[in-house]
């Protein structure tokens, strides 16, 4: 059974999220702050951490920094998903650079959270694969300087690894798979979140803006994602 450490200073979130996860077959331990969680994380083996960012005594980024510097390799490599608010973009960026696997903005649907958890856990396991036959079967998507490793969900641009969240990886894959084809926001939302989960149109624009920024941090001339005003986005042919 997958064991999850849920850390948030809001008791209503601890209660609702833990009940939702337990109904899906996950085992959940809850903590009210980073200090309390760190003690538990050092004593108990967890498969994944769900950390709020803004917390008293020790925030989510500080907690992540502590576990990424741990001498316990299982704890050090444990995948982490951040639970964030709309105004915490800079904290999200810092967390991803420190090794967070993904983030999800509050308020979120339980269904979306469940899917993100399963995807992050699957990718975490796939990145451990060293079997040559399994790796040979993995079909990378290559478009010019872009390489997408679907099995391990890794993105490379001009041989640089671009740190992407689950949703961002799926967005890039959807665009790059069909260069020149315009994808409207509804199509991209279905690719990123599934057709049964609604997110605001502006969420796609925010992801595109962030993706461009990430690629341009390695290549200032990056211009592969084209905006088709009134229509959507496409990958340059």
Confidence of residue 225 (pLDDT cuts 50, 70, 90): very high
Q: Point out the least confidently predicted range of 22-31, 36-45, 105-114, 133-142.
A: 133-142
Q: Point out the least confidently predicted range of 42-56, 158-172, 173-187, 190-204.
A: 190-204
Beta-ladder partners of 4: 28, 48
- Judged on CB neighbours under 10 Å (0-12, 13-18, 19+), 24 is middle
CA–CA separation, 115 and 105 (whole Å): 14
* Residue 138, pLDDT score: 58
CB 37 within 8 A of CB 53: no
Confidence of residue 109 (pLDDT cuts 50, 70, 90): confident
- Domains in the chain (CATH in brackets) are 3-126 (3.40.50.2300), 137-235 (1.10.10.10)
Q: Residues in the chain, how many?
A: 237
CA–CA separation, 114 and 128 (whole Å): 22
Whether the per-residue pLDDT at 197 is higher than 70: the answer is no
What per-residue string of b and e applies to 174-195 under the rule 16 or more CB within 10 Å gives b? bbbeeeeeebebebbbebbbee
Confidence of residue 136 (pLDDT cuts 50, 70, 90): low
CA–CA separation, 48 and 3 (whole Å): 7
Whether the per-residue pLDDT at 199 is higher than 70: the answer is no
How many C-beta neighbours within 10 Å does residue 121 have? 17
The pTM (predicted TM-score) of the whole model is 0.75
* Residue 234, pLDDT score: 94
pLDDT single digits (tens) 38-52? 999 999 999 999 999
Of 72, 88, 92, 71, residue with least CA distance to 80: 92
């Amino acid at each position: 059974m997958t064991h999850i450490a849920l850390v948030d200073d809001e008791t209503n979130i601890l209660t609702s999220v833990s009940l939702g996860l337990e109904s899906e077959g996950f085992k959940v331990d809850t903590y009210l702050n980073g200090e309390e969680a760190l003690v538990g994380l050092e004593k108990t083996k967890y498969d994944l951490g769900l950390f709020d960012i803004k917390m008293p005594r020790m925030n989510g980024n500080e907690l992540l920094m502590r576990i990424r510097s741990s001498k316990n390799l299982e704890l050090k490599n444990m995948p982490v998903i951040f639970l964030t608010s709309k105004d915490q973009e800079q904290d999200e960026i810092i967390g991803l650079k420190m090794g967070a696997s993904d983030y999800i903005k509050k308020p979120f649907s339980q269904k979306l959270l469940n899917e993100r958890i399963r995807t992050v856990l699957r990718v975490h396991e796939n990145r451990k694969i060293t079997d040559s036959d399994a790796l040979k079967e993995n079909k990378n998507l290559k478009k010019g300087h872009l390489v997408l490793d679907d099995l391990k969900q890794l993105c490379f641009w001009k041989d640089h690894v671009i740190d992407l969240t689950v949703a961002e990886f799926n967005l890039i894959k959807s665009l790059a798979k069909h260069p020149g084809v315009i994808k409207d926001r509804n199509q991209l939302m279905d690719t990123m979140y599934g057709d049964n989960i609604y997110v605001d149109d502006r969420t796609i624009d925010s992801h595109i803006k962030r993706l461009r920024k990430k690629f341009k941090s390695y290549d200032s001339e990056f211009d592969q994602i084209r905006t088709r005003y009134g229509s959507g986005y496409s990958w340059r042919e």
